[in-house]
A and B are shown apart, each in its own frame.
Chain A
Amino acid sequence: MTYRKDYCEGPFGQIHFVEEGDGPPVILLHQMVWSSRQFDNALPVLSARGLRAIAIDLPGFGNSDGPDKPPGAEGYASVVLPVMEHLGLDVSAVCGHHTGASVACAFGHAHPKRVSKLVLHGCPLLTSQEQKDRLSRPHFDQTPRTTGNHFKMLWDTIYGATKGEASLQATHLGVLLTFLAGEKEWFGHHAAFSYDMEKAISELKPSALVISNTGDTLHAADKKVILIRPDFGYAEMPGGTYHVVFDEAEAWANIVADYVLGKAP
């Protein structure tokens, strides 16, 4: 199938998703605050490798309708099944990045029989103290300023978080998608920081691959996941930032495809 966008009904209203390719399905869950656009560069690689790549806009992001209050990781995960039903998929590989990895984990935990394999990249497996600290941070005030300076403020935050190592294109798209998500964009981080991921990880039934890039803020957390679950596969990418899925899409998508197609590691 060539690149196609569509909607289906879900628990919070319409769910928007994009898909490309034919073959074994892999559902892609973006980090928040982003949208399915995070996988723009990965979709063609995955479909060329013989996969049917389906990237979902999580509720309140991209073009999906959102809830009024923070839904939690399980709430976000509740949109995956309606998409699978809509597409007639009994099982699928599910792959998530950062907060999207929390959602993928929650889905694999709740519906192990519907998941062929899990891919988790940059797992927000934080201690309860780290979670508390992150939850207490103030939200970015999106109110448009007369000077337009709010764009610059967010740009500096996003660009600064990668120490200037992410591509300008990824930073640019990150700014746009954060503003388009609107003032409820913090729901996504709230879900990750109030989720007991350690419990879910230790109980996960599907087999899983952890991808980690050494330049990522969550690299240390990924190492913890592997300690808890030495049975999980592990693939490491050198360097990179939290925009590695977008910026190094080809290398990333090939790791995902190898695993989903049963070739490694």
Chain B
Amino acid sequence: MRKGYCDGPFGQLHFIDEGDGVPIVLIHQMVQSSLQFRPAQFLLAKQGLRALAIDLPGYGMSVAPDHGPTMDEYASIVPSVLNHLGLKQAVICGHHTGAAVACAVAHRYPEVVSKLIIHGVPYYTGDQRAARALASHSTMPIAMDGSHFTRLWNTMKKASDHQASNEITHLSTLLYFMAGETEWHGHHAVYTYDIETAIEAISAPTLLISNTGDMLSPSDRRLAAVRPDFSFLEIEGGTFQYVYDNAENWARVVGEFALRRAP
């Protein structure tokens, strides 16, 4: 496991690099960081992959941009990291908001994408996006009695219907507050992104993973119907913290597709 920085369009980008072999770029959901993949990354490396987990700008240790980036701007960091590491192509894999970033990479930089893996895709309609973009950001100002931690903790637990582990809820809480005042940038990018156009344009072999206990499961099903040529794998149960809480199964599924020879 090696951590490093490279220069990107919005300042320094931080990444964790583990393993040797076929490169796979892991793009976290926002608000989290590359640490979302810590258990999975190790397992992917064991399967013979070079797993590269990138902190998106403003998350983890990557420098925050001075504005809320568009989805295409988030995507532009992936070629920077690959170029820094001397890699021409990689499997691009993203979860939730990170799946939207992965779609934008496949749309704007198809030459760097050997395969695409997307899990829990915010494949919202234009109306859904507009409605969500209007909602104000939920803010968690620091309270004198420290209750802001408990408030966020309860929000996270509730979002998973109290099914997510304490460990990932803990990590998510820490990462949310470490991201600071611009933590909403990632969601903002999703709500202002025309993902339908990007999905139509994707030409890379694609695996769509979905788990039925995830809030984005209905959106995954709509996407699977729009692109029946994508491999579609639906897993029973789980939460939006599946990647961390079910790392073993997740890494197995992802590893198999990443390493599978072209049909």
Which chain A residues have a beta carbon within 8 Å of chain B's beta carbons?
Answer: 4-7, 14, 16, 63, 144-152, 155-156, 159, 164, 168-169, 171-172, 175-176, 179-180
Interface string of B142-179 (1 = CB under 8 A from A): 11111101100110010000000011011001100110
| Contact B149 A152, beta carbon cutoff 8 Å | yes
Enumerate 17 A-B pairs (CB-CB under 8 Å) in ascending A order.
A5-B5, A5-B14, A63-B61, A148-B153, A148-B154, A148-B169, A150-B170, A151-B150, A151-B153, A152-B146, A152-B150, A155-B145, A159-B146, A168-B144, A171-B146, A175-B149, A180-B174
Q: Enumerate B12-47 residues with CB–CB distance to A below 8 Å.
A: 12, 14
Q: How far is the CB of B253 from chain A (nearest CB, A)?
A: 27
Closest to B146 in A: A155
Q: Is B3 an interface residue (CB 8 A)?
A: yes
| CB-defined contacts of A172 to chain B, threshold 8 Å | 142, 177
| Contact A144 B5, beta carbon cutoff 8 Å | no
Known contacts A5-B61, A7-B4, A180-B174: A148-B157 contact under CB 8 Å: yes
| CB-defined contacts of A149 to chain B, threshold 8 Å | 150
Closest to B4 in A: A7
| CB-defined contacts of B5 to chain A, threshold 8 Å | 5-7
Give the top 4 A-B pairs by smallest Cβ distance, nearest first: A155-B146, A148-B153, A151-B149, A144-B170
Known contacts A7-B4, A7-B5, A63-B3: A176-B174 contact under CB 8 Å: yes
Known: A14-B2, A144-B169, A152-B150. 7 other contacts (CB 8 A): A5-B61, A7-B3, A16-B3, A63-B61, A159-B146, A176-B174, A180-B174
| CB-defined contacts of A147 to chain B, threshold 8 Å | 150, 153
Cα of A149 to Cα of B173 in the assembled complex, Å: 12
Cα of A148 to Cα of B169 in the assembled complex, Å: 9
| CB-defined contacts of A176 to chain B, threshold 8 Å | 174, 177-178
| CB-defined contacts of B170 to chain A, threshold 8 Å | 144, 150, 179
Q: How far is the CB of B122 from chain A (nearest CB, A)?
A: 26
Cα of A175 to Cα of B149 in the assembled complex, Å: 10
| Contact B12 A4, beta carbon cutoff 8 Å | yes
| Contact B146 A156, beta carbon cutoff 8 Å | yes
| CB-defined contacts of B4 to chain A, threshold 8 Å | 7
Cα of A6 to Cα of B61 in the assembled complex, Å: 11
Closest to B152 in A: A148
Which chain B residues have a beta carbon within 8 Å of chain A's beta carbons?
Answer: 2-5, 12, 14, 61, 142-147, 149-150, 153-154, 157, 166-167, 169-170, 173-174, 177-178
| CB-defined contacts of B178 to chain A, threshold 8 Å | 176, 180
| CB-defined contacts of A171 to chain B, threshold 8 Å | 142, 146
| CB-defined contacts of B3 to chain A, threshold 8 Å | 7, 14, 16, 63
| Contact A146 B150, beta carbon cutoff 8 Å | no
| Contact A144 B174, beta carbon cutoff 8 Å | no
| Contact A148 B150, beta carbon cutoff 8 Å | yes
Cα of A63 to Cα of B61 in the assembled complex, Å: 9
Cα of A155 to Cα of B147 in the assembled complex, Å: 9
Cα of A187 to Cα of B61 in the assembled complex, Å: 24
Cα of A16 to Cα of B144 in the assembled complex, Å: 31
Known contacts A4-B12, A7-B4: A144-B149 contact under CB 8 Å: no
Cα of A94 to Cα of B180 in the assembled complex, Å: 30
| CB-defined contacts of B143 to chain A, threshold 8 Å | 168
Instruction: Name, among A151, A152, A171, the residue most crowded by chain B CB atoms within 10 Å (CB to CB).
Output: A151
Cα of A179 to Cα of B178 in the assembled complex, Å: 11
Closest to A64 in B: B3
Q: How far is the CB of B12 from chain A (nearest CB, A)?
A: 6
Closest to B148 in A: A172
Cα of A16 to Cα of B14 in the assembled complex, Å: 12
Cα of A145 to Cα of B169 in the assembled complex, Å: 10
Cα of A25 to Cα of B263 in the assembled complex, Å: 58
| Contact B173 A148, beta carbon cutoff 8 Å | yes
Q: How far is the CB of A145 from chain B (nearest CB, A)?
A: 7
Closest to B177 in A: A176
The one of A7, A63, A152 in contact with B147, judged by C-beta atoms closer than 8 angstroms, is A152
Closest to B151 in A: A148
| CB-defined contacts of A150 to chain B, threshold 8 Å | 170
| Contact A151 B166, beta carbon cutoff 8 Å | no
Q: How far is the CB of A26 from chain B (nearest CB, A)?
A: 22
The one of B142, B146, B169 in contact with A169, judged by C-beta atoms closer than 8 angstroms, is B142
